């Protein structure tokens, strides 16, 4: 959306059939739009791990951004203040802090390549992994990505785009050993941390 106000208005418009628990503006202002014990409609069709109805099993945070600009420092600061309480209240491990592009690959691309996932990972609010091992074929890659939580699609190309959007947004070209190694490391990490949230 062009502005935080436009995003707020859309999230409050019944005709849009979309909502979120929180909206964070570029200036760091946080608006709670839905109580955490209520369902919001931010995720839509998608999946993460064994969860097929992500709306019913998640806290949705929308960050006001036009999709091309960097996320403002005040906005990231506010997100870092907001997340720890949510994770503690709901027993959410860092491996379960995901973007819409993770749970709906190919359909959603937010928060996009400009979002600083590494910053959240450094503060223990998301995960970052080091690649493990070499390349693999398409079927093994799809299976490994499913083990890492990416269960909304089995298409290797779509999964590669989702992986890179989150963990390697500067990468181009065909899948390589680094992509495969990231998938392996994510599968191992999700296998440990995902179970804590009832994967």
Report the CATH number that the domain containing residue 164 is assigned in CATH.
3.40.80.10
pTM: predicted TM-score of the whole model, two decimal places: 0.91
pLDDT tens digits for range 94-108: 999 999 999 999 999
Which position among 35, 62, 132, 154 bears the catalytic label? 62
Q: CB–CB of 179/34 below 8 Å?
A: no
| Residue numbers of the chain with a pLDDT score lower than 70 | 192-199
Residue 180 CA to residue 89 CA, distance in Å, equals 34
- Is 62 catalytic? The answer is yes
How many structural domains are present in the chain? 1
Domain enclosing residue 139, as ranges: 4-197
């Amino acid at each position: 959306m062009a502005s935080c106000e436009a995003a707020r208005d859309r999230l409050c418009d019944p005709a849009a059939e979309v909502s979120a628990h929180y909206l964070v503006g570029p200036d760091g202002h946080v608006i709670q739009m839905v109580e955490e014990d209520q369902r919001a409609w931010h995720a839509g069709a998608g999946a993460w791990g064994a969860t097929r109805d992500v709306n019913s099993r998640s806290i949705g945070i929308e960050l006001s951004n036009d999709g091309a600009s960097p996320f403002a420092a005040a906005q990231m600061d506010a997100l870092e203040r907001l997340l720890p309480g949510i994770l503690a209240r709901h027993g959410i491990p860092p491996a379960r802090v995901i973007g819409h592009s993770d749970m709906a690959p190919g359909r959603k691309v937010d928060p996009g390549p400009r979002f600083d996932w590494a910053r959240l990972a450094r503060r223990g609010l998301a995960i970052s992994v080091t690649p493990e091992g070499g390349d693999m074929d398409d079927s093994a890659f799809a299976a490994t990505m499913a083990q890492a939580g990416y269960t909304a699609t089995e298409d290797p190309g779509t999964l590669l785009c989702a992986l890179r959007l989150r963990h390697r947004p500067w990468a181009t070209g065909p899948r390589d050993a680094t992509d495969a190694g990231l998938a392996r490391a994510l599968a191992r990490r999700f296998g440990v941390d995902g179970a804590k949230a009832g994967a």
